[in-house]
Amino acid sequence: MAQLSPLLKQATPVLAERGEGVYLYDADGRRHLDFTAGIGVTNTGHCHPRVVEAAREQVGTLIHGQYTTVMHRPLLRLVEALGDVLPDGLDSLFFLNSGSEAVEASIRLARHATGRQNIVVFHGSFHGRTMGAAALTTAGTKFRAGIGPVMPGVAVTPFPQAYRYGWDEDEATRFALRELDYALATSSPASDTAAFVVEPVLGEGGYIPAPPAFLEGLRERADRHGILLIVDEVQTGYGRTGRFWGHQHSGISPDVLITAKGLASGFPLSAIAAPAALMEKAWPGSQGGTYGGNAVACAAALATLEVIRDENLVENAAVLGVRLNEGLRKVAADHPEIGDVRGLGLMQACEFSTPDGEPDTAAAQRAHRAAAEQGLLLLTCGAFGNVVRMIPPLVVDASQIDDALALWSAAVAGAAG
Ligand code: PMP
């Protein structure tokens, strides 16, 4: 008899039978407040009726158009709809299935377009698990240990992790940009560097927002050296941070934007967006895939974009993000093991530290487990697994945020005792 591989590590013991809005229901009918949103995917909530309806209708019309064989309307309509929300100039889109694949596609494009090989990424970043994306990923041992050698041509320089360094944001930013300049003069000469790849908020690496001055420093260096700035919005897109795109907390615009997760409310779909003039530097057929731009996923994505707009989910994330952050700070005030509370919008986290400022992984894991026992599903992150993150669906309301905070407070108290 076959069984599920022991390679799978599951964050909670829940067997989910059904999802509705911000709740998951297990086989015993128990309700769980889902502040994981399927790792930041179900921004419109589980099974939003408009997304369900759009997908249901498409299933009966055309499931698999196969975009390298024939074109289909949901994909064309989605290109048009994304045109309304993408930053100016990013007017050319290519579709794939997952975040990792889109990251890989952006690297191919960057190499094709610049004729250069090297990619610079930032310590603690997560860009995926496929072998190319894994080469860009330094968010923790489990993503890298034992898989090498990974793709060459990748330089890793510091991300401004102010809390970890015990610095303020400006100091951390100055340090990170100086180290980047050093890398461009040494390990990855600017003339060999195709792209910087950066997350607007370090996600799996610990929910650390990139200071705007850091992103602006990258933009300036990219322009100066003819390097592409690739922004990985896989986790930060579609309102998650309280702006439509995470990078919009700064003044920059990317050369290539990578998107996935929240795009289709749980159907596998991802994309890269760039100016047409940049895409034209590669050639037709240089990218592709059997399932990219699946018709049902595209139909679900169209409904997702409408829900985000019609239900003001971006604004909801901004307003309730403040409420969540303030509530988490109140809990932290009674619990010195929570050394830092941070985030943007509904991408919030608590970092657990020992009294001398070292990562307290055990305390974070205890609190995470205790929360799950209370019916609040959360995820951990950070290189040391000592950060507990809260990523509710963006349809969450104020009373559900308060419920989560009450459960979190009880979980942290229980875990400490
Ligand atoms: N980039 C970022 C910023 C991510 O958060 C993730 C997934 N957590 C990925 C890329 C990879 O996406 P996927 O798991 O869909 O391959």
CB 126 near ligand 1, within 6 Å: yes
Question: Looking at ligand 1, which residue's alpha carbon is closest to its atom 10?
Answer: 127
204 lines ligand 1 (CB under 6 A): yes
> From the alpha carbon of 268, which atom of ligand 1 is closest?
15
Among 126, 269, 344, say which to mutate for ligand 1: greatest number of ligand atoms within 8 Å of CB: 126
- Rounded-to-10 torsion of CA 172, 326, 245, 254: -10
| Residue ID of nearest Cα to ligand 1 atom 13 | 99
Ligand 1 centroid–CA 98 distance in Å is: 7
Measured by CA distance, the residue closest to atom 1 of ligand 1 is: 127
Answer whether 103 contacts ligand 1 (Cβ < 6 A).
yes
Is the CB of residue 128 below 6 angstroms from any atom belonging to ligand 1?
yes
Tell me the sheet residues that pair with 26.
Answer: 16
The predicted structure's pLDDT at residue 15: 96
Domains of the chain: 16-47+312-416 (3.90.1150.10), 51-310 (3.40.640.10)
Please state the atom number of ligand 1 nearest to the C-alpha of residue 261.
15
Give first-to-last CA distance, the chain, whole Å: 43
What pLDDT tens digit does each residue of the chain (417 aa) get?
999 999 999 999 999 999 999 999 999 999 999 999 999 999 999 999 999 999 999 999 999 999 999 999 999 999 999 999 999 999 999 999 999 999 999 999 999 999 999 999 999 999 999 999 999 999 999 999 999 999 999 999 999 999 999 999 999 999 999 999 999 999 999 999 999 999 999 999 999 999 999 999 999 999 999 999 999 999 999 999 999 999 999 999 999 999 999 999 999 999 999 999 999 999 999 999 999 999 999 999 999 999 999 999 999 999 999 999 999 999 999 999 999 999 999 999 999 999 999 999 999 999 999 999 999 999 999 999 999 999 999 999 999 999 999 999 999 999 986
In order of 52, 201, 205, 235, the CA distances from 263 in angstroms are 14, 17, 22, 10
User: 237 CB under 6 A from ligand 1?
Assistant: no
State the pLDDT at residue 54: 98
Q: Is 260 in the pocket of ligand 1 (CB under 6 A)?
A: yes
Query: Does ligand 1 lie within 6 Å of residue 234's CB atom?
Result: yes
Q: Ligand 1 mean position to 260 CA, how many Å?
A: 8
Q: Is the CB of 259 under 6 A from ligand 1?
A: no
Q: What is the atom index within ligand 1 of the atom nearest the CA of 128? A: 11
Q: Is 199 in the pocket of ligand 1 (CB under 6 A)?
A: yes
What pLDDT shows up at residue 416? 83
Distance from residue 126's CA to the centre of ligand 1 (Å): 7
Alpha carbon of 272 to ligand 1 centroid (Å): 13
Q: Measured from the CB, is residue 104 less than 6 Å from ligand 1?
A: no
The question of ipTM being above 0.85 is answered as yes
From the alpha carbon of 235, which atom of ligand 1 is closest? 5
Which ligand 1 atom lies nearest to the CA of residue 101? 16
Assess whether the C-beta atom of 292 lies below 6 angstroms from ligand 1.
Answer: no
